[in-house]
Amino acid sequence: MMSQTMPQTVTRLTLGRSVFSVNAYLITTDLGFVLVDTGTRGQRSKLAESLRTQGCGPGSLKLVLITHGDFDHIGSAAHLRSEFRAPIAMHEGDAQMATNGDMFSGRRRPNRLVRAVLSLVSRLPEADRFEPDVLLDEGSDLAEYGLAGARVLLLGGHSAGSIALLLADGSLLCGDVLENRKAPKLGSIMDDVGTAEAGVRRLKTMDVGMVYPGHGKPFEFADLLVPDLTVSTAP
């Protein structure tokens, strides 16, 4: 019998509580693990404990993939890189958020209220800022990290560099472009709603199954609530 490659399985690591709750996801591959997002700096010990429980440590963690540059997703990326010696991958569009610690850099239309409130608490301390090792873009090949058959999709919308990872089995890790805090829907904080909606229309043309959002529970893509979106017909 031909040897089969191991399926890539996704484990949700829930960090923080209530409104501060954020997900990181650990993908098991035949080469080891890929971590998608890292929570906030304050959720670091919980993340470390979750990784230990899953048997993920230095050597077996092949990549830290960041869906977007917000502080609640990149808080432990630099720490993991130094502890686990794993490279950090993200899209160039959000790289400035990681290098200067300001989640509003690169955003087109920051909401003033959100900005006023979050600027006080969300600035990434210098020790946690980083330059990504790998710049991802639409179509980047991640086979060398164990993600054969996976696709990187540049969705934007939530931020200029918001990406999603579509695994070969249809699992979609989408960061904050989609969420499921109370219901599966478009993310509630959007920099560019039109771009986000275009991203969802594009996803509808693909074989997306389970969606693993940055916030809230995983859900079936078919259950996504997007009442105003119509799929554009091809010319």
Footprint on this chain of Zn ion (rule: CB under 5 A): 70, 72, 176, 214
Least distance (Å) from Zn ion to the CB of residue 140? 22
The residues that bridge with 15 in the sheet, in sequence order, are 22
Least distance (Å) from Zn ion to the CB of residue 112? 19
For Zn ion, the closer of residues 70 and 102 by Cβ is 70
For Zn ion, the closer of residues 67 and 140 by Cβ is 67
For Zn ion, the closer of residues 1 and 120 by Cβ is 120
For Zn ion, the closer of residues 70 and 192 by Cβ is 70
For 39, 102, 159, 172, the CA distances from 175, given in Å and listed in that order, are 11, 18, 10, 9
Least distance (Å) from Zn ion to the CB of residue 189? 8
For Zn ion, the closer of residues 28 and 70 by Cβ is 70
Gap between the terminal Cα atoms of the chain: 46
Spatial separation of the C-alpha atoms in residues 103 and 80, rounded to whole Å: 20
Q: Which residue has the tokens 């109370």?
A: 182
Least distance (Å) from Zn ion to the CB of residue 158? 8
Least distance (Å) from Zn ion to the CB of residue 126? 21
Which one, of 157, 52, 162, lies nearest residue 109 by Cα?
157
Structural Rg of the chain based on CA atoms: 17
